Chains A and B, each alone.
Chain A
Amino acid sequence: MGWYLAQQLINAFSYGSILGLLAVGYTMIYGILGLINFAHGEIFMIGAFVCFFLVTLYHVPWVVGALGAVAGSTVAGLLLERLVYRPCVKRKAPVLTVFIASFGASLLLRFLFMMFFTDRRRAFPIPELFEKMYFLGGVAIGLRDIIIFVTTIVIMSLVACFIKYTKLGTAMRGVSYDAKTAQLMGINSTRIIVAAFAVGSALAGISAIEYGLSFGILNPAMGFMPGLEGFIAAVVGGIGNVPGAMIGGFLIGVGEILFVALLPPALSPLRPLFVWALLFVILFLKPTGIFRPNVKFEGLWGE
């Protein structure tokens, strides 16, 4: 039982990493723009597809493919900002309008990929090198799991340092807290928004590669569930709060895997229910998430 639990925990950390990276993206964009980027899951999906095309069809080295995925996601995120959100923000559209537009953008991207590439599942390219397994007592640890976990920790530390110690990161926190005052300090909020989209989307790209490594598949609908769960993780962590989102991601990921692992197999189809139940319980106890949301004004929605 102990070994089994340890084994499941290792699986859980991979999934937690994926969700954590997604949640940070949601939370950063929310903090800066006051907007839930509903299309974040699709940006994630685009990253996986770019890697797939580069490696499987054009036979570039895997590392180049992975970098391509991050670049692809970043470009997709920036295009989304430029073509959908910026026009809305420029016209001072109400938050709800922008949300509906982002809902539209999410379906647009998903069905666009479905239209061109069908919703068939494809195999995500995994280098043979990564298939290596280490055995520690009764636990099998794949090199993949180690790579996923270490990458996530490194990336998250980098993001945390970026937010904490650089001028741009400080400015982002300032805009997130009070955009009106921040512009009086000479901060061009458009540039900060672009930066948030770039960083958030790049993280989604990294998360997509980890997802591919962990599950070995990709299809146009792959962004939907991790996207929603990343969003849940961001809310659980207190939206706008970057470290909170990281912890929220691990919490949801680990909780979900352990739910399936520890309860009788008959209950495992209820896995999606568990996430929502967890969300409802947390929101019921603390309506703004576990950690303090990093936004000054609640009720941005005119409620």
Chain B
Amino acid sequence: MLLSMKDVTTGYAKAQVLKDISLDVNTREIVALVGANGAGKTTTLQCIAGVIKPWIGSIHLEGRDLALFEPYQIVAMGISYCPEGRDVFANLSVYENLRIGGYLIRDPKQFKLHLDRVYSLFPRLCERRQQLSGSLSGGEQQMLAIARALMTNPNLLLLDEPSLGLAPILVEGIYNRIQEINASGTAILLVEQNVGLALDVSSRGYVVEKGEIRLSGTSAELRDSDYVKASYLGIA
């Protein structure tokens, strides 16, 4: 098991958001975390990335307790977080964004290797590498955000709403890339509001509601469950 989250309760300042969340991610799998707006999906990812600390419960990455580390140290341990809303550094060029993404890589050869890998995954970024990232289109910014998170060659990629605000055709492209990334060995914890899409690419899934895990199981089971059908897929 790569990541295991046990009975985590947390929130912001004094407002509790998550209650007793437990989930696991195995190596090389895609796990979907689905639910409505405000259910606590992003908070779960932020908690894993170390931006907020669990109040109760624990998060372990390959046996190491993540609560003891700062966000920048957690990145070095092999977890990359691609935040919601594509927070690219708009004042930097595409290349410079990727350079910051690969900040932890000391060896220039290694850096070049990862850069080439990312460029071959997203050829569009290679074409625009000198362009200011603020001037990219929404889809390109999303690609850049994912590419940036991949620069450290993580074992686990936390993807927050990669389809947010994108045209369907672009979403399809992004999801093809996500599957390619996974095929090359990176486990992915995918947060989505678009439940059908997320369950299509993932092997397992969790349904989050009001800060708690409502349902869990393999994606196929979830897709077939009456509850998910009624509440999220709009199939009566």
Contacts and interface: CB of A to CB of B under 8 A. Distances in A.
Contact of B92 (A170, A183, A186, A187): A170
A177 B89 contact: yes
B139 interface: no
B104 A186 contact: yes
Interface in A165-218: 167, 170-171, 173-174, 177-178, 180-189
Chain B: interface residue count, which band?
20 to 34
Given A170-B92, A173-B92, A174-B92, A187 B87 contact: no
A189 B72 contact: yes
Given A170-B100, A173-B96, A181-B83, A186 B89 contact: no
A247 B63 CA distance: 53
Given A170-B96, A173-B96, A182-B100, A187 B72 contact: yes
B99 A170 contact: yes
A186 B152 contact: yes
Interface string A145-175: 0000000000000000000000100110110
A187 B100 CA distance: 8
Contact of A174 (B83, B100, B152): B100
Given A167-B103, A184-B49, A184-B83, A177 B91 contact: yes
Query: Which range holds the interface residue count of chain A?
Result: 10 to 19
Contacts of A177: 89-92
Contacts of A170: 92, 96, 99-100
Nearest to B91: A177
Contacts of B76: 186
Nearest to A168: B103
Interface centre among A178, A182, A183, A186 (most CB of B within 10 A): A186
B53 interface: no
Contacts of A183: 51, 70-72
A181 B87 contact: yes
A177 B197 CA distance: 33
B205 interface: no
Contacts of A184: 49, 51, 71, 75, 80-81, 83
A182 to B, nearest CB: 7
A296 interface: yes
A178 B71 contact: no
A5 B10 CA distance: 67
Contacts of B97: 174
A27 B44 CA distance: 36
Contacts of A180: 51, 87
Contacts of B80: 184
Given A170-B92, A178-B87, 8 more contacts: A173-B89, A178-B89, A180-B51, A182-B89, A184-B81, A185-B100, A185-B104, A294-B91
Rank and list the top 9 A-B pairs by shortest CB-CB distance, nearest first: A186-B75, A186-B104, A181-B87, A174-B100, A183-B71, A188-B72, A174-B89, A184-B81, A186-B72
15 contacts: A170-B96, A171-B100, A173-B91, A173-B92, A173-B96, A174-B89, A180-B51, A180-B87, A183-B70, A184-B75, A185-B72, A185-B103, A185-B148, A185-B152, A294-B91
